[in-house]
C-alpha cells in the first residue's frame, strides 16, 4: 500500500490511467449522498434564515377616540383569508411573516373598524385602532361673544341632535381645552336622546388662571367616544385691577362731595376717569349713578352730558387706553321744590368686563339754599281818611302807603289781587276799588315790590280793622296756581266836623 521509497504517491481515480491509488469509479459513488445532504442543509438554512429574518412582531391596540382602552373582538387574516388571530381584548401581539394582513375590530358599543397591516420585516409594528361610539349626532353651539375677560364668566348653549338610528343613553359630555386656558361647566354631565330627538345644555366658561396678555384658545365640545365635535374659539383677554381706575377733576379725594347746591339751579361737575394700567386698555365701560337706600327719589337730579337712552344717570364709554383718561360731565339739577339740607347719598359705579370688579366712588350732595316763594304787604298798613257831613275823602295817596313785595327768591307771575271774602269784614268789599287793571300784576321779580293800584270808595264812612287782601299766582315750585292772604289792612276815619 505504501511506497517503500516514500516517493509522492500517484493517485489515479480509475480508468486506464495509472497511479498508486486506483478507485476504478467506486469511490465517487460513495461521496455523492454526502454532498447532497450538505447542499440540502445549506439551502434549508438559507431559507430558514430568510424566513425568520422576514418575520415581524405586530401589536394591535384598541382604544376609544379619547384614548381610553376598549376590549374589542380582533380578527386578523392573511392574504388568503385565513385567520391568524381571533381574540377579544384591548391589546393583541402576534409574530407574522411577510405579507399583507386584514383586520376587523368590533364592539357592541362601537362602530366596526377595518384596516390593513403590511409586514415586510424590520422594526416592530404597533397598530393603533380608534373605535368611535355607535351613535351619530349633530352639535350646535350658541355663544354671543368671541372674547372672554379675566374674571368674567360667559354663558352659552349647546344643542345635540341624535341623527342616527341608535338611542343615546347616559353619554358623557366632554370639553377638550387643548391650551388649558379655560374652565367650562355644563348644566348636566351626561345626556340621553331618543332617535331623531334633540336636547339643549347650558354651559359657562371662564379663564382658568391670571393672564398678562391676550391669548387665543380652542375648546372642542363633544360626546365621549365620538369624533363629532363643535369647536369654540375664544380670545382670553386680561383685565385691569380696580385699583388701576381713578377719578379726579371735580371729584375730590376719590369721592364727589358737594354741599352748596341751590334749589332750582344746575351744577355741572367735570370728572376725569383714568386708567392707570401700563399695558391693558379698558373697553365697553358702563358708568352709573346708584342711590343708597332711601335716596332713590333723587336719581332724577342727575344727567350725564353724554347720557344713554337707558337713562340720564347712565353712560357708556367705548374705551380708555392704557395710561389715559376720559372726561365726562355730570349735571346735577336740583328741583325748585328741594328744601334746605336735603341730601343725596349714593355711588358712582364704573363697571367693565375689562375691569376685574366694579369700582365705586361715594357721592354726597347737600342742598344749601332752598327756593322761597312769598308775597307780603308793607307791615301793618293803616289807611286814613278825613270825613265830614259830605262823606269821607277819597284815599288817593294809598299807593304811597301800601306795597306788595316778592319776599322769595323766585320770580312770580300772573298775580291776581282781590278782597278775601271769608275773614274780611263784609264792608271791606265796598271800600276798595281796583279800577280797570289795578287787580293784576303780570310779574314780580324776586325781591321786587310794587305799589298796589287801588282807591277807597269815599261813600263809605265806617272804620274797619280786618280787611284782608288775597293774592293768587303761578307757583314756580309746583307749576300750579297758589294763593296767599295778606296781613289785615286797617282803615281809620277822622271826623272833621267835631
In a domain, 4, yes or no: no
Other beta carbons within 10 Å of 87? 11
Classified as helix, coil or strand, 326 is: strand
| Residue 317, all three cell numbers | 364709554
Asked whether residue 230 falls in the same domain as residue 247, the answer is: no
Q: Which of 183-187, 319-323, 406-410, 465-469 has the lowest mean pLDDT?
A: 465-469
pLDDT band at 426 (very low <50, low <70, confident <90, very high): confident
Q: Which of 37-41, 149-153, 225-229 has the lowest mean pLDDT?
A: 37-41
pLDDT (mean) for 259-277: 93
pLDDT (mean) for 319-323: 94
- Whole-angstrom CA distances from 357 to 242, 244, 458 are 6, 11, 82
**Domain CATH number, residue 121:** 2.60.40.1120
Q: Which of 115-124, 369-378, 432-441 has the lowest mean pLDDT?
A: 432-441
In a domain, 334, yes or no: yes
Classified as helix, coil or strand, 54 is: helix
Q: Cβ distance 70 to 131 under 8 Å?
A: yes
User: Which letter does DSSP use for residue 371 in this model?
Assistant: -
How far is the C-alpha of 469 from the C-alpha of 486, rounded, in Å? Answer: 5
For β-strands 489-495 and 382-388, DSSP reports them as: parallel
Please give the model's pTM, rounded to 2 decimal places: 0.58
Grid-cell match 357721592, residue found: 363
pLDDT above 90: residue 292: yes
pLDDT band at 9 (very low <50, low <70, confident <90, very high): very low
In a domain, 3, yes or no: no
User: Which letter does DSSP use for residue 120 in this model?
Assistant: -
Instruction: List, for residues 200-231, the tens digit of each pLDDT value.
Output: 999 999 998 888 888 999 999 999 999 999 99
Instruction: List, for residues 348-397, the tens digit of each pLDDT value.
Output: 999 999 999 999 999 999 999 887 888 888 665 666 666 655 555 555 44
How far is the C-alpha of 298 from the C-alpha of 292, rounded, in Å? Answer: 10
**Among residues 180, 213, 237, which one ends one of the domains?**
237
pLDDT above 60: residue 243: yes
Domain count, the chain: 5
Asked whether residue 469 falls in the same domain as residue 447, the answer is: yes
State the pLDDT at residue 310: 65
Asked whether residue 385 falls in the same domain as residue 400, the answer is: yes
Q: How far apart are the first and last CA of the chain?
A: 214
**Domain CATH number, residue 358:** 2.60.40.10
Asked whether residue 272 falls in the same domain as residue 317, the answer is: yes
| Closest by CA position to 354, among listed 152, 132, 126, 214 | 152
Classified as helix, coil or strand, 27 is: helix
pLDDT band at 493 (very low <50, low <70, confident <90, very high): low
How far is the C-alpha of 27 from the C-alpha of 357, rounded, in Å? Answer: 110
pLDDT band at 498 (very low <50, low <70, confident <90, very high): low
Asked whether residue 307 falls in the same domain as residue 382, the answer is: no
Q: Cβ distance 95 to 54 under 8 Å?
A: no
Q: Cβ distance 303 to 288 under 8 Å?
A: no
More confident residue, 299 or 404: 299
**Among residues 86, 112, 131, which one ends one of the domains?**
131
State the pLDDT at residue 15: 45
Asked whether residue 379 falls in the same domain as residue 357, the answer is: no
In a domain, 5, yes or no: no
Beta-sheet strands, E only, within 282-340: 282-291, 302-304, 314-320, 324-333
State the pLDDT at residue 197: 96
472: number of CA atoms within 13 Å, CB side?
Answer: 8
- Identify the domain containing residue 358 by its residue range: 242-369
pLDDT above 90: residue 330: yes
How far is the C-alpha of 378 from the C-alpha of 372, rounded, in Å? Answer: 18
Determine the length of the chain: 498
| Closest by CA position to 288, among listed 366, 358, 342, 367 | 358
pLDDT (mean) for 412-430: 86
Classified as helix, coil or strand, 49 is: helix
Q: To the nearest 10°, report the CA torsion of 352, 353, 358, 363.
A: 10
In a domain, 269, yes or no: yes
Task: Provide the phi-psi class of 479: left if phi over 0, else alpha when psi is between -120 and 50, else beta.
Answer: left
pLDDT above 90: residue 162: yes
In a domain, 6, yes or no: no
State the pLDDT at residue 388: 58
In a domain, 427, yes or no: yes
pLDDT (mean) for 419-445: 80
Asked whether residue 260 falls in the same domain as residue 364, the answer is: yes
Amino acid at each position: 500500500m505504501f511506497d517503500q521509497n516514500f516517493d509522492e504517491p500517484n493517485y489515479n481515480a480509475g480508468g486506464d490511467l495509472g497511479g498508486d491509488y486506483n478507485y476504478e469509479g467506486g469511490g465517487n459513488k460513495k461521496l455523492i449522498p454526502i454532498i447532497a445532504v450538505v447542499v440540502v442543509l445549506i439551502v434549508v438554512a438559507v431559507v430558514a434564515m430568510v424566513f425568520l429574518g422576514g418575520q415581524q412582531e405586530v401589536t394591535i391596540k384598541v382604544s376609544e377616540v379619547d384614548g381610553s382602552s376598549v376590549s374589542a373582538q380582533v380578527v386578523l387574516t392573511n392574504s388568503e383569508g385565513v385567520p391568524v388571530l381571533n381574540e377579544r381584548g384591548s391589546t393583541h401581539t402576534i409574530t407574522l411573516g411577510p405579507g399583507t394582513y386584514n383586520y376587523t375590530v368590533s364592539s357592541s358599543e362601537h362602530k366596526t373598524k377595518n384596516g390593513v397591516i403590511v409586514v415586510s420585516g424590520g422594526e416592530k409594528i404597533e397598530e393603533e385602532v380608534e373605535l368611535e361610539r355607535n351613535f351619530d349626532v349633530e352639535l350646535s353651539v350658541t355663544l354671543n361673544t368671541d372674547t372672554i375677560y379675566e374674571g368674567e364668566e360667559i354663558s352659552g348653549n349647546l344643542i345635540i341632535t341624535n341623527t342616527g338610528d341608535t338611542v343615546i343613553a347616559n353619554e358623557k359630555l366632554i370639553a377638550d381645552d387643548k391650551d388649558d386656558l379655560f374652565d367650562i361647566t355644563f348644566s348636566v354631565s351626561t345626556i340621553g336622546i331618543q332617535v331623531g330627538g334633540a336636547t339643549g345644555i347650558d354651559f359657562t366658561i371662564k379663564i382658568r388662571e391670571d393672564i398678562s396678555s391676550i391669548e387665543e384658545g380652542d375648546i372642542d365640545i363633544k360626546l365621549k367616544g365620538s369624533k363629532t365635535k363643535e369647536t369654540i374659539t375664544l380670545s382670553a383677554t386680561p383685565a385691569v385691577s380696580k385699583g388701576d381706575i381713578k377719578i379726579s377733576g371735580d371729584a375730590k379725594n376719590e369721592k364727589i362731595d358737594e354741599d352748596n347746591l341751590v334749589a332750582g339751579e344746575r351744577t355741572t361737575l367735570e370728572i376725569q376717569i383714568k386708567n392707570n394700567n401700563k399695558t391693558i386698555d379698558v373697553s365697553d365701560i358702563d358708568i352709573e349713578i346708584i342711590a343708597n337706600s332711601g335716596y332713590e327719589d333723587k336719581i332724577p337730579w342727575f344727567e350725564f352730558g353724554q347720557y344713554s337712552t337707558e337713562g340720564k344717570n347712565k353712560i357708556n364709554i367705548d374705551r380708555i387706553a392704557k395710561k389715559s383718561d376720559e372726561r365726562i360731565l355730570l349735571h346735577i339739577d336740583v328741583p325748585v321744590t328741594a328744601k334746605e339740607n336735603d341730601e343725596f347719598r349714593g355711588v358712582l359705579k364704573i363697571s367693565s368686563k375689562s375691569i376685574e370688579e366694579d369700582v365705586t366712588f361715594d357721592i354726597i350732595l347737600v342742598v344749601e339754599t332752598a327756593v322761597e316763594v312769598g308775597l307780603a304787604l308793607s307791615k301793618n298798613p293803616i289807611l286814613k281818611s278825613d270825613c265830614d257831613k259830605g262823606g269821607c275823602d277819597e284815599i288817593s295817596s294809598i299807593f304811597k302807603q301800601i306795597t306788595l313785595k316778592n319776599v322769595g327768591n323766585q320770580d312770580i307771575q300772573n298775580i291776581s289781587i282781590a278782597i278775601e271774602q271769608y275773614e274780611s269784614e263784609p264792608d271791606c268789599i265796598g271800600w276798595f276799588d281796583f279800577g280797570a287793571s289795578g287787580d293784576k300784576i303780570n310779574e314780580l321779580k324776586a325781591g321786587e315790590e310794587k305799589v298796589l293800584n287801588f282807591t277807597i270808595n269815599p261813600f263809605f264812612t265806617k272804620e274797619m280793622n280786618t280787611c284782608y287782601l288775597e293774592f293768587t299766582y303761578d307757583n314756580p315750585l309746583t307749576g300750579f296756581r297758589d294763593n296767599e292772604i295778606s296781613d289785615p289792612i286797617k282803615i281809620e276815619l277822622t271826623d272833621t266836623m267835631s
